[in-house]
Structure 1
């Protein structure tokens, strides 16, 4: 159990660092776009604004995808899950807090998947707060 807690802690730290760096990059892109929209007097409901908002959402999806795949690769590497496809599926439902069941994972690694669920919910919440704050600031 201590090994699983240590690994979970390391995974949480790694994904939080990745998430923070990713949100910082997205925030920088938003600042640049906001400046461009002000200079060019782009209305909030323009095609450009729509595409930028879509790109922001896709950036958030990419960020979460990276974190989900990190857990999936870990589960395959330790033999907790049989295939990469199953690992990605299992990691996705764990990360998103859906967690249908744990029949796909070896019992010794269930604690890591449970903590992945808590980690994922926090990171999804962080992304939601980030997105709502930016969209509100941009007046969209």
Structure 2
């Protein structure tokens, strides 16, 4: 159990750092775009503004994808799962807390999967808050 908790803690730290850095990067890009829009008097709901919103959505999805793949690669590295496709699928449904069952993962590593679910909920919530904040700012402009 100590090994599981240690590995899960490292993964939580890793994914939080990835997510924080990714949101920081997205925020910087959006701030630069907002300045250009203001300078050129471009409405945030213009085609260019909508393209930036799509960029934001895809950026958030990419961040979650990196975090899901990190867990999937971990499952392969510790022999908790056998196939890459199975590991990515299992990690995706666990991260998003959809989960169907945990029979496919090796019994000695189930605690990591449980913590991935909690981690995923928090990171998805963080992304949602970020997205809502960005969209609310667009509406005020």
The offset of 1:45, in angstroms, is: 1.8
The offset of 1:90, in angstroms, is: 0.1
Unaligned runs of 5+ in 1: none
- Higher deviation after alignment, 71-80 or 35-44: 35-44
Cα distance in 2, alignment partners of residues 86 and 127 from structure 1: 26
Unaligned runs of 5+ in 2: none
| Partner deviation per Cα, 1:29-70 (whole Å, 9 max, x = no partner) | 010011011011111221101111001100000000000000
In structure 1, the residue matched to 2:88 is 88
In structure 2, the residue matched to 1:37 is 37
Task: Flag as ranges the 4+ runs of structure 1 deviating above 4 A.
Answer: none
Q: Does 1:97 align with 2:97?
A: yes
CA RMSD of aligned residues (A): 0.9
Cα distance in 1, alignment partners of residues 61 and 23 from structure 2: 11
Cα distance in 2, alignment partners of residues 91 and 108 from structure 1: 16
Cα distance in 2, alignment partners of residues 34 and 104 from structure 1: 46
In structure 2, the residue matched to 1:18 is 18
In structure 2, the residue matched to 1:8 is 8
Provide TM-score, normalisation by structure 1.
0.98
The offset of 1:77, in angstroms, is: 0.7
The offset of 1:139, in angstroms, is: 1.5
In structure 1, the residue matched to 2:59 is 59
Number of aligned pairs? 140
Provide TM-score, normalisation by structure 2.
0.97
Q: Does 1:48 align with 2:48?
A: yes
| Matched residue SS, 2:101 | coil
Q: Does 1:129 align with 2:129?
A: yes
Cα distance in 2, alignment partners of residues 41 and 84 from structure 1: 48
